[in-house]
Amino acid sequence: MSGLSIVVPVLNEEEAIPLFLERMTPILSGLGLPYEMVFVDDGSKDRTCEVIAAAHAADPSVRLVRLSRNFGKEAAMTAGLEATSGAAVIPMDVDLQDPPELIADFVRLWRDEGFDVVCGKRVSRDADTGTKRATAGLFYRVFNRVSSLQIEPNVGDFRLMSRAAVDATLRLRERNRFMKGLFAWVGFRTTTVPYTRPPRAAGETKFNYWKLWNFAIDGLTSFSTVPLRVWTYVGGLVAAIAVTYTLIIMVRTMIFGTDVPGYASLMVVVLLLGAVQLISLGVIGEYLGRLYIETKQRPIYLVQETLGLGAPDPRRETGESRPPVAARAAE
């Protein structure tokens, strides 16, 4: 297919899908390119699959990849990328916080100016809470400080990627997937398009602060070993303090006689060292757990069924055949 593929991971979004299609369809039709919209159902419990199936019956450009359970948004996005065959692919959210009107600008920069990656950059996040804006800004600063890989602040998954960029991203097969980092790691000629992030069109976000915290940890530990290296310096500092304190006690004992330490100071030292050791073990355990998961070599996701993929469609040009989605997932 020489046209455009839209990848939309969804989880319990039966209310948002009709609004998304109503707004997206005229925009994509006006581009003059063959297109497909690949929805990836990440284990929804509502009528999300039924709504997508009905949309497919009315419009064959709507496709469905249904995963066997909830694998997480990063895995669902990977499934969507692997299911596409367009010359350019745009992952985006169904809640319309990624404005579909920007797609025309994305396509223009890709076709006319030769960019492989065109990212949407949020210049205003008034739709988000103050806490979320503050924590997001802190994450980008910390990530870019501790990692040799730099990611553009306030750039999410909403972007256009050329087929070369998509195929390069799919070569990265780690199970703990931080897609923003993977997109940045593969490189390619990149530009950004600024936009103001609107509120959700329908439904509620599936990310709470606990999930966002774990997502941030995934990002930091996937692309930096600084959290491990820090404890080398912390250990050295604590050792230096301990040696210094030992020398002070020896000198005081030789000059002033026997020094009986107090219970309070002893407990402070024991608790402090215990806390440092437990934190350092936790960081080491985080990395060790990731190694354990990677060595199992389990598939990133499993597909229960697909709808519309590979079916004849007048909007979809015949191109080079690709392996079935489930087969590619198990590579």
User: Residues 31-63, buried b or exposed e (16+ Cβ, 10 A)?
Assistant: eebbbbbbbbbbbbeeebbebbbebbeeebbbb
Q: What is the pLDDT of residue 39?
A: 92
- Beta strand 4-10 with 155-162: parallel, antiparallel or unpaired? unpaired
Is 216 in contact with 147 (CB distance < 8 Å)? Answer: no
Distance CA(256)–CA(254), nearest Å, equals 6
| Integer angstrom CA distances of residue 61 from 21, 79, 167, 307 | 11, 17, 22, 10
- Region 27-51: mean pLDDT is 88
Average pLDDT of span 35-50 = 88
Query: What mean pLDDT comes out for the span 265-278?
Result: 68
Tokens of 80: 């969507």
Identify the top-confidence range among 277-281, 302-306, 316-320: 302-306
Task: State which of 143-157, 166-180, 308-322 shows the largest mean pLDDT.
Answer: 166-180
State how far the Cα of 270 lies from the Cα of 91, in Å rounded to an integer: 51
Closest by CA to 14, choosing from 46, 53, 39, 38, is 46
110-166 pLDDT tens trace: 888 888 889 888 876 665 566 666 766 676 677 667 677 777 777 888 889 889 888
Name which residue leads in pLDDT, 320 or 297.
Answer: 297
Proportion of the chain above pLDDT 90, given as a percent: 2
Structure confidence at residue 320 (pLDDT) = 36
pLDDT above 70: residue 176: yes
pLDDT at position 184: 83
Q: What is the pLDDT of residues 185-224, one digit of tens each?
A: 888 888 888 888 766 555 565 555 566 666 566 666 666 6
Per residue in 236-266, pLDDT (tens digit) is 777 677 667 667 766 776 676 655 566 556 6
Q: Give residue 317's pLDDT band: very low, low, confident or very high (50, 70, 90).
A: very low
pTM: 0.67
Rounded distance between C-alpha atoms, residue 32 and residue 251, angstroms = 85
Mean pLDDT of 90-102: 87
**pLDDT number for residue 315:** 37
Poorest-confidence range of 82-91, 170-179, 215-224? Answer: 215-224
Question: In this structure, what token pair is assigned to residue 22?
Answer: 């109503």
* pLDDT at residue 202, rounded to an integer: 59
Q: Confidence class of residue 324 from pLDDT cuts 50, 70 and 90?
A: very low
Which pLDDT score is estimated for 322?
Answer: 40
Q: Beta strand pairing status for 62-67 and 35-41?
A: parallel
Q: Tell me what the pLDDT averaged over the chain comes to.
A: 75
Asked if residue 151 lies in contact with residue 222, where contact means CB atoms within 8 angstroms, the answer is no
58-67, 257-266, 272-281, 290-299: the lowest-pLDDT one = 257-266
